[in-house]
Structure 1
Amino acid sequence: MNTVARRGASSPRELARIGDRISFVYLERCTVHRDANAITAEDTDGVTHIPSATIGTLLLGPGTRITHQAMALLGECGAGVAWVGEHAVRYYAGGRALTRSSGLVEAQATAWASRRTRLDVARAMYRLRFPDEDPTWRTRQELLSMEGRRLKECYKREAARTGVPWRRREYHRDDFSAGDPPNQAVTAAAQCMYGIAHAVVAALGCSPGLGFVHSGHERSFVLDVADFYKTDIAIPAAFDAAAEGEADVAARTRRLLRDRIHQTGLLNRCVRDIKNLLGYDGTRDTDTTDPMRDRVTLQSDGDRHVEAGRNYGGEIIW
């Protein structure tokens, strides 16, 4: 009997790089299915085809249903999938890694396991946010204070630029509509950035939970990454959306943010920043004999790696 499971899985090199993909696609009140290598969204207006390998993350809003075949296709393509609540303010699920290498997650775990290197990476993260300051000798408390001041100054600056009235940041977890329009826009922008960051983190094979600034949450590293771009991409887009009016501010924020992510090449930047922060150059993943083949190794003494798939019983490994 023919089944979808009999199809061969695509090689990572046959798929679109995460940096070349659409940052996110938001769908609501539709049924998501598949047609060959595309997913389809069917609603009262008809059927829309979306090439699956071009999606960074798929945000499924209220009223959506998705078939098993569509999820299998998205998983094979390494796309992130999130079931989100009204106005995309909740995130429920992540996707499969686009890479099949454990190199980046091993580099992440190594840096995270030591308190010293964990602080080193946290300082490097703040260096991305404050390119004109040297956080080398800053304590964690000093870094947090720097971040707090940076956000307050950003809100004040964007309010002055757009003419949008701003009192203070308010986030109502269980009632999105309780906030004023600029706060709704900032919340919508932040949640989109978290979804995008999660898609990149998952596609690279990193652990979402091993954070260097944030801690104690299953998406700590995702929150770390999303915060790199908060003041130069997310918050400006939110204030621009709020300046256009109060109606549909969340949807307008998502559209503006999507355009700016494409214009700034954010996905490529995000991939590059994560690799640089973790000191990862990918040399261990290279298979010069067959670049299309998955590389699986066994760990030996002295941090040596030998090829898997063979028996080393009684053999001395040098």
Structure 2
Amino acid sequence: MAAPLPPLRPIPIKERQSVVFIEKGEVDVLDGAFVVVDVTGIRTQIPVGGIACVMLEPGTRVSHRAAALAARVGTLLVWVGEAGVRLYSAGQPGGARADRLLYQARLALDETLRLKVVRRMYAMRFGDEPPARRSVEQLRGIEGARVRRSYQLLAQKYGVKWSGRDYDQQDWDSADIANRCLSAATSCLYGVTEAAVLAAGYAPAVGFIHTGKPLSFVYDVADVYKFETVVPVAFKVAAAPTGNVERAVRLGCRDVFRQTRLLERIIPDIETMLAAGEIVPPAPPDDAVGPAIPNPDSLGDAGHRA
């Protein structure tokens, strides 16, 4: 009788590759490996445990075993539209932790604490302190003006015709080349950011600057890195478009994520952002009922299923 396999030990997010796109194939687990099988029957093995986020494009089918394996190893599966510019659905790699959810919710619901977190996000994004005595709404307006100016400066730097961020979610192909590149680039950033948010045990929907959307907190966190990482990539590709520009953007994003060591930074930076509220995260009550099947200690990030 063969010896049982050792328990899975998720790789921390900071040590993973950022993102992989899969299209036109069946994703399954064969002989214990996470694979993509094309129409001719050729298998391509994907090292799923070493990837933060797998983007599934049209023409992809996913088996139950593949989804279960991705969940166990803490890899986020995201169902996206062609070229990754629409997000339809996403898995949850580890399950949010109640203590971190309560901590995040308390910060978001108290306007004074929320403002402190927003000010920290602003400072981390722009490298200077925001103006004093401004509300969240006023800071959002100031941020929007700085962002528009940043787009204009990058367009000038790369020689790209730019008339503003303009796209139709129902008709992405109608956008100009620069906006298409930006949409593809930001989808990569949002994917890996959501993977990190979920791995850390927080709720993507509970935002501070952005509100009312399923990925509000993901947008908050991703915006800190956007102009450092993916936006310059998008304008660089748009300046000299050749072939499949969306693919060129993805490859550029993958490289810049590695160069900036983004996956090592996101979770610690989330802690820094939320620590601006200057409250202690809640501890579980003494009489809390433990899980029926306790999770062993894991090498993965907080939130991963052990």
TM-score range, shorter chain: 0.7 to 0.9
1:105 maps to which residue?
101
Q: 1:162 to 1:250 in 2, by over 3 A?
A: same
Residue 267 (1) aligns with residue 263 (2): yes
Secondary structure in 2 aligned to 1:214? Answer: coil
Q: 1:309 to 1:154 in 2, by over 3 A?
A: closer
2:64 maps to which residue?
68
1:93 maps to which residue?
89
Q: Give 1:124 shift.
A: 1.2
Q: Considering only CA atoms, is the larger Rg found in Structure 1 or Structure 2?
A: 1
Q: Residues 207 and 221 of structure 1 are in contact (CA less than 8 Å); yes or no, is this contact kept in structure 2? A: yes
Q: Give 1:98 shift.
A: 3.9
Instruction: Tell me, in whole angstroms, the C-alpha distance in 2 between the residues paired with 1:47 and 1:78.
Output: 23
Q: 1:72 to 1:8 in 2, by over 3 A?
A: farther
2:295 maps to which residue?
none
1:52 maps to which residue?
48
1:231 maps to which residue?
227
2:299 maps to which residue?
none
Instruction: Tell me, in whole angstroms, the C-alpha distance in 1 between the residues paired with 2:95 and 2:89.
Output: 18
Residue 299 (1) aligns with residue 285 (2): yes
Q: Residues 13 and 196 of structure 2 are in contact (CA less than 8 Å); yes or no, is this contact kept in structure 1? A: yes
| C-alpha distance after superposition, 1:268-305 (max 9, x if no partner) | 11111111112299x989xxxxxxxxxxx8624xxxx7
Q: 1:44 to 1:206 in 2, by over 3 A?
A: same
Residue 24 (1) aligns with residue 24 (2): no
Q: Residues 112 and 118 of structure 1 are in contact (CA less than 8 Å); yes or no, is this contact kept in structure 2? A: yes
Q: How many residues align?
A: 286
Instruction: Tell me, in whole angstroms, the C-alpha distance in 2 between the residues paired with 1:68 and 1:245.
Output: 39
Residue 128 (1) aligns with residue 128 (2): no
Q: Residues 96 and 203 of structure 2 are in contact (CA less than 8 Å); yes or no, is this contact kept in structure 1? A: no
| C-alpha distance after superposition, 1:190-245 (max 9, x if no partner) | 12211121111111110111100111112111111111111111210101111231
- Residue segments in structure 1 that go unaligned for 5+ positions in a row: 1-5, 286-296, 311-318
Instruction: Tell me, in whole angstroms, the C-alpha distance in 1 between the residues paired with 2:281 and 2:145.
Output: 40
Q: Give 1:250 shift.
A: 1.4
Deviates most, 216-225 or 145-154: 145-154
Residue 152 (1) aligns with residue 148 (2): yes
Q: Give 1:164 shift.
A: 1.6
Instruction: Tell me, in whole angstroms, the C-alpha distance in 2 between the residues paired with 1:89 and 1:126.
Output: 26
**Share of identical aligned residues, percent?**
34
| C-alpha distance after superposition, 1:232-270 (max 9, x if no partner) | 112101011112315321111111011101111111111
Instruction: Tell me, in whole angstroms, the C-alpha distance in 2 between the residues paired with 1:209 and 1:135.
Output: 27
Secondary structure in 2 aligned to 1:24? Answer: strand
Q: 1:141 to 1:154 in 2, by over 3 A?
A: same
Q: 1:155 to 1:231 in 2, by over 3 A?
A: same
Q: Residues 103 and 281 of structure 2 are in contact (CA less than 8 Å); yes or no, is this contact kept in structure 1? A: no
Paired residue type of 1:237? V
Q: Give 1:28 shift.
A: 0.5
Q: 1:37 to 1:136 in 2, by over 3 A?
A: farther
Q: Residues 119 and 129 of structure 2 are in contact (CA less than 8 Å); yes or no, is this contact kept in structure 1? A: no
Q: Residues 209 and 221 of structure 1 are in contact (CA less than 8 Å); yes or no, is this contact kept in structure 2? A: yes
Residue 186 (1) aligns with residue 172 (2): no
Instruction: Tell me, in whole angstroms, the C-alpha distance in 1 between the residues paired with 2:291 and 2:57.
Output: 44
| C-alpha distance after superposition, 1:117-160 (max 9, x if no partner) | 11211111111112123345322233122212222222122112
Q: Give 1:100 shift.
A: 7.4
Q: Residues 94 and 202 of structure 1 are in contact (CA less than 8 Å); yes or no, is this contact kept in structure 2? A: no
Secondary structure in 2 aligned to 1:92? Answer: strand
Residue 33 (1) aligns with residue 31 (2): no
Q: Residues 27 and 60 of structure 2 are in contact (CA less than 8 Å); yes or no, is this contact kept in structure 1? A: yes
Q: Residues 99 and 284 of structure 2 are in contact (CA less than 8 Å); yes or no, is this contact kept in structure 1? A: no
Paired residue type of 1:197? T
